[in-house]
Amino acid sequence: MREVIVIGIGQAGTQLSSAIWELLCLEHGINSDGYLFTSSLDSAKFGNDETFFHHTQNGKRVPHAVIVDLEPTVIDEIRTGVYRNLFHPDQLISSMEDASSNFARGFYSMGRHKVDTVLTQIRRATEACDTFQGFLIVNGFGGGTGSGFTSLMSNYLSTEYTKCSKIQMGIYPGSQLSTGIMEPYNTVLAFNSSMEQSDVSLLVDNESLYNLCDTGCNIWRPSYTDINRIVAVLLSSLTASSRFESPLNVDLTHLETNLVPYPRIHFPMVSYAPLVASERFEHDTCSVNDLTRALFDASSQTLSVDLTQGKIITCCIQYRGNITMQEANRAIIESKYRRMLRFTDWCPTGIKLGISNVAPTIPSFFPMARTRRSALLLMNNSAVNQAIEKVGDKFDMLYHRRAFVHWFVSEGMEEAEFTTARKELSVLIRDYLEVTQGINSSDETNACLRVGEQQTMNQPEDMISQSYRANQTSGGSSNRIKIHDMSENLSNRLSGNIETSAV
């Protein structure tokens, strides 16, 4: 069995980790002390727990986990909570002073004091694995620890574990909902690290999760516990096919291979269906066609973007429950026939399927209904640019006035890192545009598609569709001019030459 280590960082990562392990224990029939509920369990129903749990000699299940926060309050809730006996004490790491929502404190000053301890515990966790697969990192982009310390730790992981998958679930700032004034700074700086250090970064935002609780689950004022339990269901579905018997297994390596066409283009969005209240679900059919259609609807998205303004690059659908391969194929064909799916011209059929025959585990105290079937969509779509641009605009408004910059510089950070990170964000936006719009090169003989630092030769002539060729001929030069203007405007704005709105 290929093991996965879950690393929770910061307040958001710690609280999410608590919800994740709560659900994983229930799925595999493990009580709060780490032991099986009974000695005679149906292995097919409870699956193989070795992906996320290490077995001790006395039969106890210990999570493959490392949970880190620079201040002890949130981790102390785990130390004194219901699952306090589940974790090894060394797996819960905290300090006495937080990062104050400052990326530089998490990366340069406070984080440096704890990084060796964390890396030592991660090394112990990997040594306890027989066939280590990779890391699942859970954090928030807006906080100081979640952004700064995650970036610091990822630098070391990329050096020491180069061949292991690193999947990141990041809580992204919403356009209308914010938890701190310095969120744009922290997010852009953390994004710069995530582009280079993570293999796949799944983006969700609290704003969309609040809307899902309100419109789908009939919870008008959801708590963070409700939000975290929804995200736990998403991550459970993500790894279900590798833990339960299934006709189509999908592990972390498969996700990376099928979702990431180029190394920097690795920011998929997540959708889940059905996400409804119990009283509403009793009147729904929950057919495979209904699940598939719901995945591409705005009511199932966990990131606030307009999918109609983007194109699908790649996507992966994970089904759970009594679903056959034929039903899944028919549902996807019908969705294509209804023109619900808008793919790029060069990748018109990029859908990866995973099926787990075990129904999802939804406890009665979770905010959504217990269902016999469910579906999870991971979609690499150019619409993610909308969320990236919104954070970039907020960053520009702050940095134009150099607001709060002194707090970062005083912790040992160079001011030039702001402009570097912002320009890298602009390059990422341009990369998504190039991939979906197909910008022409000046030299058609040696034409290649530039994505960050990666270059891939053009496809053979007989593999290029007519619509793609027409777009190259008619719109390539104008697209290049627009992107050049965007980069020039960004450079001027960062240097303070363009008048922007005050904070």
If one counts every other C-beta atom within 10 angstroms of the C-beta of residue 492, the result is 11
At residue 299 the predicted structure's pLDDT band, cuts being 50, 70 and 90, is confident
If one counts every other C-beta atom within 10 angstroms of the C-beta of residue 352, the result is 17
Q: What is the per-residue pLDDT across 101-142, written as a single tens digit (0 to 9) for each?
A: 999 999 999 999 999 999 999 999 999 999 899 999 999 999
Select the more confidently predicted residue: 39 or 392: 392
Average pLDDT over residues 142-163: 95
Per-residue pLDDT at 175: 74
Give the up-direction half-sphere exposure of residue 49: CA atoms within 13 A in the CB hemisphere: 28
Q: What is the per-residue pLDDT across 238-264, written as a single tens digit (0 to 9) for each?
A: 998 888 877 666 678 888 888 999 999
Average pLDDT over residues 157-170: 93
Per-residue pLDDT at 40: 42
Task: Output the pTM of the full model.
Answer: 0.85
**CA distance linking residue 59 with residue 4, whole number of Å:** 20
Whether 459 has a pLDDT exceeding 50, the answer reads no
Whether 476 has a pLDDT exceeding 60, the answer reads no
Comparing 88-97, 412-421, 494-503, which segment has the lowest mean pLDDT? 494-503
Whether 483 has a pLDDT exceeding 60, the answer reads no
Vertex 373: Cα angle to 370 and 376 (nearest 5)? 100
At residue 340 the predicted structure's pLDDT band, cuts being 50, 70 and 90, is low
Whether 381 has a pLDDT exceeding 70, the answer reads yes
Per-residue pLDDT at 481: 41
Per-residue pLDDT at 284: 65
Whether 479 has a pLDDT exceeding 50, the answer reads no
CATH superfamily of 2-385: Tubulin/FtsZ, GTPase domain (3.40.50.1440)
Tell me the three state secondary structure of residue 383. Answer: coil
Average pLDDT over residues 339-352: 78
Domain segments of the chain as ranges: 2-385, 386-494
Per-residue pLDDT at 349: 67
Query: What's the chain's average pLDDT?
Result: 84
- Which two three-digit tokens encode residue 140? 């928030």
Highest mean pLDDT among 60-74, 251-265, 485-499: 60-74
The proportion of the chain whose per-residue pLDDT surpasses 90, expressed as a percent, equals 59
At residue 272 the predicted structure's pLDDT band, cuts being 50, 70 and 90, is very high
Phi, psi of 91, deg, nearest 5:
-80, -15
* Residue from 296, 289, 293 nearest 328 by CA: 289
Per-residue pLDDT at 83: 95
Whether 265 has a pLDDT exceeding 60, the answer reads yes
Per-residue pLDDT at 47: 75
At residue 283 the predicted structure's pLDDT band, cuts being 50, 70 and 90, is low
Strand partners, 137: 7, 168
DSSP 498: S
Whether 27 has a pLDDT exceeding 50, the answer reads yes
Contacts 24+ apart (CB under 8 A), 112-119: 112/152, 114/68, 114/70, 114/149, 115/149, 115/152, 115/153, 115/156, 117/93, 118/66, 118/68, 118/93, 118/153, 119/153, 119/156, 119/160
Helix (H) / strand (E) containing 5? strand 2-9
Residue located via tokens 């589940």: 86
**CA distance linking residue 414 with residue 204, whole number of Å:** 30
Per-residue pLDDT at 469: 45
Decide which of 1.10.10.60, 3.30.70.360, 1.20.1290.10, 1.10.287.600 is the CATH code for 386-494: 1.10.287.600
Helix (H) / strand (E) containing 6? strand 2-9
